Structures are given as C-alpha cells and as structure tokens.
Amino acid sequence: MTSLSQQFTCHDAYDPNALPVALGRQLILDAVAPIEGVEHLPLREALGRVLAEAVVSPIDVPAHDNSAMDGYGLRGADLHNDSPTTLQVIGSAYAGRPFPRAVGPGEAVRIMTGAPLPAGVDTVVMQEIVASLDDQVTIPAGQHTGQNVRKAGEDLRAGVPALAAGKLLRPAELGLIASLGISEVSVRRRLRVAIFSTGDELVPLGTIAREGEIFDSNRYTLFGMLTRLGVEVIDLGVVRDDPLALEGCFREAASIADVVITSGGVSVGEADFTRSMMDKLGEVLFWKIAMKPGRPMAFGRIGAGGDAAWLFGLPGNPVAVMVTFYQFARPALLRLAGVETPGEAPELRALCTVSIRKGRGRTEFLRGVLYAEDGEWKVRTTGAQGSGILRSMTDANCFIVLGPEQGDVAAGDDVTVQILDGLV
C-alpha cells in the first residue's frame, strides 16, 4: 500500500510547511473512501442518512394523466380556432375518484386539481376564464390541446432510479420516497467519530477552574458540528499532555471509531512529542496550512487493520477548531459517510463595508455578518478576530474568505463569503 506521504508528494504544490487550503482539502478528500455497512430503516429514521443503494421507482409518478388545476376538462379537437366554444357539462371529476364514463365530442367535465383525466379528455381550461350557464360552459378562443395536463410518469417513470446511491436524505427525499409507496430504505450505517481534547490546562465542566486552568470548550463545538452532520459522536473527554496517556487514548479511539478528531497538541511547541508518539501508531502528517486561523493541523491514519481510523488533529484554539473542521473535516466526513458529492459550502460575493488588512500567500477566514441592504448583500466583520475569541463565531453568520492572492480589502470592495446556515 502506498503511504499517504507518497500519495501526497506527487502533487507539485504539496508543501507540508505551507499547504494551500484547497490542496489540503482535496488531498484529504481523495484519501478517504466511504465506510462499509448498511442498515434498513423505516423512512422517518432515515432522515440525514445516506442512501446505500438507488431507490428505483416501482410506479409511474403521477400514476395517471391528471389535471394541473381546477377547471374544465374537454377534448382538444372540439375547440374552435378563432372563436369561443360552447360545450355540454356532463358531471364533475374529483381527485382520487375515477370518472365513471367517457367524455364524448361536444362534452366537457368540471375537473379538480389532481383528478385523473376521464377517457376522452386531453385538455384542461382554467375555471377563471370560462363562462358557465346551467349545464353549459363557454371556452374562450386561444386554448391549446394538451394544456394544463400532468402526464403519467412525467415526474418519475417505473423502473428508473428515482434517487441514486450516495444521496443524502433531506426532507424532499423523504417525501419523494414516500410518494413511491416505499416505507423502508437501505442506508449506510452512521459514521462513528471519537473526540477528545488535549491539554494540561483544560478542566471539564462541573469542576472548578483554578488559576491558569480553562474550561474545555472544544469538545462542545465539536459535538455540535458533528451532531449536525448526523454522525455518532463518542466523547472521550480530556487527556493530559502526557505521551503515555495520549497513546492509550489514541489506541482506544482508533479501535472504536472510524474517525478520531482531537484538538490541541499540534502547535509547534507541542507537536514534537505528539509526532514521535504518532509514529508508533500509524502514519500521521503534520501540516502547516497557509491559512489563518488554524495553521497547524495533523491528518493521517492510526491503528491497524480493522482497528484503523482516520485522524484529524485540529489546532487547540477554539475558533481555529471550527474553521479547520468546516474546511477540512466536514467534506471528508461526508464522503466517509457515503455522500456521493459532498456539496461545497454555499458561497456568494458581498460588498465589504469595512477595510481589512490582509497578507498575501495565505487564506484568511474572518467571521462576518452578512445582511441585505438596498437590494444587495453586504458584509462586515464581527470585530476582534483572535483565534481564541469564540464570540467572533457566535456573532457570525458567515466566513469572509480571502484567498491567497488577495491583498488588503478596502471598504466597498467585493469579497467572497461562505454562509454558515443553510435552509435544509
């Protein structure tokens, strides 16, 4: 098997000491592949899961030609070209009830949205434009044969895959599967992700922080981000900066999880002992990414055989944890979970209302507030941008992403933003 570093060094731009963000993300994505394991679940429980096999439609949807609106159903051949047409109304056709007889020449039916077209009917005229008197209806000129009809199978054809394997099941997919009469689906098992924090200064919630100690917050942001992604989170707590304790925790994590995500311990001062310990466990690469915040990061594989797991060693600073998670871990976790095409985070261009100092050569992720004003998107920063200031994340609804080529930003310039919240 080729090692990760062999795989990666064949890329010209691969420089572990100044790795471009886009390349790092791509290398990680290319290295990972979907996990094995399939479950059959009732439809509702499958929300947020990934289809393990295609859902093939057993039926045509819609099953019958039907009316797209409330109006009158008629035979298109009856319509006069340039003058109104008067027809005899022989009854009403309702959704869910087949009309009992055929509609002949010179006849029409009142028809409701979704009602199957009675035999003979091929055209529907909306009720708002007709004149009806007793059992006669007059249709204005200018209507076309076939209008306002939904054809059987126009949504989905029987025997054709309605959803491909690898599709993430959102509300629309649940509804679509239900519309086929299918109540159970085959999905991949949930990805298991173990998390722990490293640092002698960290204390867990429920204890008292003495001088120099801080509460461990990274496990909470990680728990939140992972839970939102729909993975199973295994929380292994806080581990001291002690090689033996760390090694034990890494071994345990690798044996129970598909992915291990840690925070802290990868910065220059701490990487050395982590690095030598990691060499015993598998192959872990220590990167300095050309970005701010979040420069140091480790990625690799630990454990052997069935006990192996992917490792993301994220930086310790709370904002850096979130930025590196979204930029590197999230797309890889989606792919591991079986998502065929992990969507890029939604980006748009917005007018930046403040000036920003920016050095070239690295990507910066500032926390921003995106808002609409005077018919355009505008964005400002959330204020102090230190990588330890979590407030900058709680105040934000987007990242302002300034790429490596970008220099200083003047107020009024357009910038790229990544939106943090999606609709579904």
Cα(247)–Cα(217) distance, integer angstroms: 22
CB nearer to Mg ion: pick between 171 and 212: 212
**Closest separation between CB of residue 17 and ligand AMP, Å?**
17
Task: Give the footprint of Mg ion on this chain (CB under 5 A).
Answer: 199, 264, 316
Interacting stretch for ligand AMP, rule CB under 6 A, among 47-55, 275-283, 310-318, 336-344? 310-318
Distances (CA, A) of 9 to 2, 14, 290, 363: 11, 6, 17, 21
Task: Say how many residues make up the chain.
Answer: 424
Cβ count near 259 (within 10 Å)? 25
CB nearer to ligand AMP: pick between 71 and 265: 265
Residue 201 touches which member of Mg ion, ligand AMP, none, C-beta under 5-8 Å by kind: ligand AMP
Site string for ligand AMP, 374-393 (x = CB under 6 A): --------------x-----
Q: CA torsion sign, 85 to 91 to 92 to 97? A: negative
CB nearer to ligand AMP: pick between 253 and 356: 253
CB nearer to ligand AMP: pick between 56 and 209: 209
**Closest separation between CB of residue 274 and ligand AMP, Å?**
9
Among 217, 255, 397, 416, binds ligand AMP (CB under 6 A): 217
CB nearer to ligand AMP: pick between 79 and 322: 322
Q: Residue 217 corresponds to which amino acid?
A: S
- Angle at CA of residue 12, ends 10 and 16, nearest 5°: 85
Q: Does 201 bind ligand AMP (CB under 6 A)?
A: yes
- The helix (H) or strand (E) run that includes residue 406 is none
Cβ count near 115 (within 10 Å)? 24
Cβ count near 13 (within 10 Å)? 9
**Closest separation between CB of residue 261 and ligand AMP, Å?**
12
Residue 218 touches which member of ligand AMP, Mg ion, none, C-beta under 5-8 Å by kind: ligand AMP
Q: Does 265 bind ligand AMP (CB under 6 A)?
A: yes
Could you tell me how many residues of this chain bind ligand AMP (CB under 6 A)? 18
Binding to ligand AMP in span 91-150, by CB under 6 A: none
Of 355, 381, 357, 377, nearest to 368 (Cα)?
381
Interacting stretch for ligand AMP, rule CB under 6 A, among 19-27, 40-48, 193-201, 287-295? 193-201
CB nearer to ligand AMP: pick between 120 and 293: 293
Q: CA torsion sign, 217 to 401 to 230 to 264? A: negative
Q: What is the 3-state secondary structure (H, E, C) of 78-144?
A: HCCCCCCEEEEEEEEECCCCCCCCCCCCCEEEEECCCCECCCCCCEEEEHHHCEEECCEEEECCCCC
CB nearer to Mg ion: pick between 20 and 316: 316
Cα(258)–Cα(307) distance, integer angstroms: 8
* In the complex, residue closest to ligand AMP by CB: 316
Q: Does 197 bind ligand AMP (CB under 6 A)?
A: yes
Q: Does 293 bind ligand AMP (CB under 6 A)?
A: no
Residues 6+ apart with CB under 8 A from 76: 122, 123, 143, 144, 145, 146
- The helix (H) or strand (E) run that includes residue 388 is none
Among 318, 331, 338, 368, binds ligand AMP (CB under 6 A): 318
Cα(65)–Cα(121) distance, integer angstroms: 10
CB nearer to ligand AMP: pick between 20 and 318: 318
Binding residues vs ligand AMP (CB under 6 A): 197, 199, 201-202, 214, 216-218, 263-265, 267, 270, 315-318, 388
